[in-house]
Amino acid sequence: QKEVEQNSGPLSVPEGAIASLNCTYSDRVSQSFFWYRQYSGKSPELIMSIYSNGDKEDGRFTAQLNKASQYVSLLIRDSQPSDSATYLCAVNPGDTDKLIFGTGTRLQVFP
Amino acid sequence: GAGVSQSPSNKVTEKGKDVELRCDPISGHTALYWYRQSLGQGLEFLIYFQGNSAPDKSGLPSDRFSAERTGGSVSTLTIQRTQQEDSAVYLCASSLDGIYEQYFGPGTRLTVT
């Protein structure tokens, strides 16, 4: 059973701080990794994709991938209350085009 | 451009009835996916299409669930003889090709009474 694990949270950070969200996956051959943001009652919104080891930055977001450790993370700099949502880690296992999702980490950014 | 659209946005049905959920992917996207999300749960893969064929339908929970895609575009997910455990949000996503990012529609909230 291929799995994607996330801490359910909530992760509470003050406004302006860095939020760090972590994800581990079980299938070593996984090739593609994604972070989605989901506001309550809404559908998931893609915020980052990462395919190779290292860091990828996009605005306030940085995705980090370490395939040897089977670990992917998302850093949100200068966190804002509007960042409060559930963040879903998704992994493409490589043998099929579907995504396997973690159960998500709820982030709360307080003023 | 237009994103993924789904209809209806909400559907309430009686146990035992059949329902059809529709997904219209982003224009030009060849891959289309169906997931469902039960209250407080993660996203569960159901089936995906590449063009009109379904290489992976491993997530369909039972033979009451079926899906088709015609013309490489619109897809319909059909649930026959609905049960209360089918209540969930059904999400459709599309991608340019199977290896690229998936973009989700707004979902259909299905409630079986």
Mean of all residue pLDDT scores within chain B: 94
- What is the torsional sign of CA B36, A37, B99, B93? positive
For residue A58, how far is the Cα from the chain centroid?
Answer: 14
Nearest in space to B108 (alpha carbons), one of B19, B29, B16 = B19
Torsion of CA A41, A86, B47, B13, to 10 degrees: -20
Q: Is B108 on the interface with A (CB under 8 A)?
A: no
CB A43 within 8 A of CB B91: yes
Q: How confident is the model at residue B1 (pLDDT cuts 50, 70, 90)?
A: low
For residues B10 and B108, is the Cβ–Cβ distance under 8 A?
A: yes
pLDDT in tens, B59-109: 999 999 999 999 989 999 999 999 999 999 999 999 997 677 999 999 999
Among chain A residues, the shortest Cα distance to B59 is held by A98
Question: For the segment A34-63, what is each residue's pLDDT rounded down to a tens digit?
Answer: 999 999 999 999 999 999 999 999 999 999
CA dihedral A62, A54, A25, A30 (to 10 degrees): 120
Chain A residues within 8 A of B105 when measuring between CB atoms: 43
Query: Measured between CB atoms, which of A32, A101, A103 is closest to B99?
Result: A32
